[in-house]
Structure 1
């Protein structure tokens, strides 16, 4: 088969009439139609300007998103802390606690400044050793 047919006839209605009158059938068919060098150059120029515009918009978007991120950051931190506190039904603190050794029960208790027992454990051997300076605690000022 020939690679070209009716190329010598003027493009447009005359060429279409020639092809239509000389063919066996006319069918709809999909195919890849190549571009002319001029069309390709025009598309490349359009692509370049489109790419530049996209880059400018992306940079502007990044700047705006960074500003939003900075504004959201303190709220996100607070949200994270509140969620952890709600989940644990408690808050981790590091504060002064008061240690009491019950030698009879052989236990050690730690109390917070509100007077609540926050932790207890068995006493270590060195905590059970008495000294002559230890007095029995009564919980009153009377000695």
Structure 2
């Protein structure tokens, strides 16, 4: 079979001649070949659409970066609040008060509000008395 039927006949007349001389007319889908002018038009259209798409993607990236910058501090705040809620309070640094209980041989650390923060056994160095423990341990003198 030939690649092009009626190649010497003008394109406008081919369809009628083919219709008149065929065995059967069948409706089918097929790819119509472009001529060079149509190919050039499609390429120019493709270039324009690709440029428009690139511009929009760049705008989207800038908007996304802007929103990402606004969202990041909120995410950090969420993590901090979640950790504080999980711990039941916030983490601070400040003066705490250490008390040594010689009878129980324990050391306790208290917050300025008076809450026990930590309790542990005494170390060897803490077994030696200092002036404040001596005052707390001694009787007031009225108990004699």
Please give the range of the TM-score, normalised by the shorter of the 2 chains: 0.7 to 0.9
User: How do 1:1-143 and structure 2 match up within 5 A?
Assistant: 1-12=1-12, 14-130=13-129, 134-137=133-136
* Offset at residue 110 of structure 1 (A): 0.8
Q: TM-score, normalised by structure 2?
A: 0.77
Secondary structure, aligned partner of 2:10: coil
Question: Cα distance 1:131–1:81, how it changes in 2: closer, same or farther (>3 A)?
Answer: closer
Instruction: Mark the runs of 5 or more structure 1 residues left unpaired by the alignment.
Output: none
- Superposition RMSD in Å: 2.6
| Structure 1 residue 38: Cα displacement | 2.0
Mapped to 1, the partners of 2:31 and 2:125 lie a distance apart of 91
Runs of 5+ in structure 2 lacking a partner?
none
After TM superposition, where is structure 1 displaced by more than 4 Å over at least 4 residues in a row?
131-134
Alpha-carbon distance, 1:109 to partner: 0.8
Quick one: structure 1 residues 103 and 34, their matched pair in 2 at CA, closer, same or farther if it must change by over 3 Å? farther
**TM-score for both structures, normalised by structure 1:** 0.77
User: Helix, strand or coil for the counterpart of 1:55?
Assistant: helix
How far apart are the structure 1 equivalents of 2:78 and 2:131? 54
Query: CA–CA distance in 2 between the matches of 1:7 and 1:28?
Result: 22
